[in-house]
Amino acid sequence: MCCVMIYNRLATLRTMHGLSRQELADKVGVNYQTIGFIERGDYSPSLELGFAIASVFHVRIDDIFSTNVFQPMLGEVKHEPKIK
């Protein structure tokens, strides 16, 4: 089970919610660069961090992370207001 590729659509969700990397990083308690690494797929977060990120966007963890390539989000997720 080594080196399973974890795909994510964190960048899309973050942009949709109008959050910067720094803002998201502050909410989940990590360095802003870690958010960049996750978005680029260079780092797979722990379950704790994955759940923390999912709770920020009020979605399930498998809406953000998957072992399968995500399909385009058109029509799948409604635009939500900026998270305060």
Q: Using CB under 8 A, list all residues that contact another protein.
A: 29-31, 33-34, 37, 42-43, 45-46, 48-49
Shortest distance (Å) from residue 41 CB to another protein? 12
Least distance (Å) between residue 80 CB and another protein? 26
Dihedral of CA 51/67/24/83: which sign?
negative
- Residue 52, C-beta contacts closer than 8 angstroms, at least 6 positions apart: 27, 28, 29
Q: Which is nearer to another protein, 18 or 41 (CB)?
A: 41
**Least distance between another protein and beta carbon 72 (Å):** 28
- What is d(CA 36, CA 28) in angstroms, rounded to the nearest whole number? 13
